[in-house]
A and B are shown apart, each in its own frame.
Chain A
């Protein structure tokens, strides 16, 4: 039996800011249907790696291959159309637009038409808009926010804004969802809700790559974990393996007879 090629493969990815190496030759893969977590102490390069994968920052070296596409050649705004969307560490909704309009914007790549062609195909544009609104309602229903569809997004509490962001990402029909610290700022109930939603999405075949600080969260949901420290990958494995990995324990807690223990 041959294994199918990975959905996302990150090969020797590096990012240098002048003399500082923020990410140094990190390699790992995400297979279809997997949930992979990236962890590491503060300043380990997690967020930088994430921006490299989602295209917000250019690579200094290495390759990001997604579904057979060389992602270094794909500008950020074309990524959602080929099945890769992301959320942000600090929720980035369009605050004065309504909740449903925010979600509809996530489906922008489906109705992507310029000004002139939109004017010439007015009926089609209006029909597409209605379909998109319908689909947006479906995803709002899924995250449990259909009742707040017409409110300005900025009126929602943080935890619900996070859910809107996930609905906005899901409406484009991604194969891979990139989540940058999705549990940040959520309370216990909201975190549990988020876990349930992510599990449901994963059951439907969605692959997820996430960066997270919350250990309980990441250990509870990930199939595999990649550990970064000082910009390099120091370990990969199942949550069980990671928990017992001496290099990981050292990175988080310091050496037994070192000076950095706390």
Chain B
């Protein structure tokens, strides 16, 4: 029990501390922006981690919810002059509803069929964002009004703490889902749907629920991205976005609690470091990703947690000495 608590809240404390002091360590708006984008992608990654890493439902259409959240947020502010909190809420609710409507039929499919269907959905959303110029602003997108909260204009540093607060809230929600009966049930659905339903799990309901939750995480991430970028454009639902999401999930570690944070930091920071290499950037990026998949299939977060869990649960190292046997059925 205490090791579980430690496992959940030790990383949380570390992340919270890093997040709180980061603005003092960074210089200038550019670095602060990089930090904010890291939190944004961590939120996006946590949603995907719940959906695919824990529940085993591979969606390649999360960027659609990222975009729908951001566009809804911008449109509600532009056309209805809603305040920031209400527009944020509106963006999340719209994504939840769309997630429910899409999830109900699509989650009847499994594995690559599900991936294809969600990808198609995202391509439709992307086309709408590109071509419905009157509504979405076409390729140039929409501008988000300067952020203000309760009448006070938000400075850059306030915006940082807002985005960081959203990431912290998302982490708590992720931990809650992962460490209660909800997480167990989702793991069961991933492993064996037939056995899951025979122990009393309503498989369809759980799959649709986690799809909606992941859509809401994507919405929050998209809205935070729009706040940081002061606007929203069709690249939000583009293929680059889902490539970033997959990369951060693989590098960070699927199913890992801290993976999305590590993955997001790498996905955001690595291109900045590699920028000097110009055309070789993509090559190095791709090779790096391959190396990760081959040598660290659990990702960085997963590998750290695994070695840490060993020392939490098993101080005497009994586990490694234990015989792993499995009698075969004749």
Contact = CB atoms under 8 A, between A and B. Distances in A.
B325 A157 contact: yes
A229 to B, nearest CB: 24
A96 interface: yes
B182 interface: yes
B193 to A, nearest CB: 10
B200 A92 contact: no
B158 interface: no
Interface stretch (B183-191, B230-238, B278-286): B183-191
14 contacts: A77-B201, A81-B200, A86-B198, A94-B192, A94-B196, A96-B191, A105-B188, A105-B196, A108-B184, A108-B199, A113-B181, A125-B180, A129-B181, A159-B327
B201 A105 contact: yes
Contacts of B202: 75, 77-78, 112
Interface of A: 54, 56, 75-81, 85-86, 88, 90, 92-97, 101, 104-106, 108-109, 111-115, 118-119, 122, 125-126, 128-129, 132, 150-151, 154-159, 168, 172, 184-185, 187
B133 interface: no
Contact of A158 (B173, B181, B184, B326): B326
Given A157-B327, A159-B327, A76 B197 contact: yes
Nearest to A113: B181
Contact of B181 (A90, A95, A111, A151): A111
Contacts of B177: 115
A77 B203 contact: yes
A92 B185 contact: no
Interface of B: 173, 176-177, 180-182, 184-185, 187-188, 191-192, 194-203, 205, 209-210, 213, 313, 319, 322, 324-330
Contacts of B210: 115
B329 A158 contact: yes
B191 A95 contact: yes
A184 B213 CA distance: 41
B184 A97 contact: yes
Contacts of A168: 199
Given A77-B201, A80-B199, A119-B176, A104 B329 contact: no
A108 B322 contact: no
A132 B192 CA distance: 22
B180 A54 contact: no
A97 B186 CA distance: 11
A159 B326 CA distance: 9
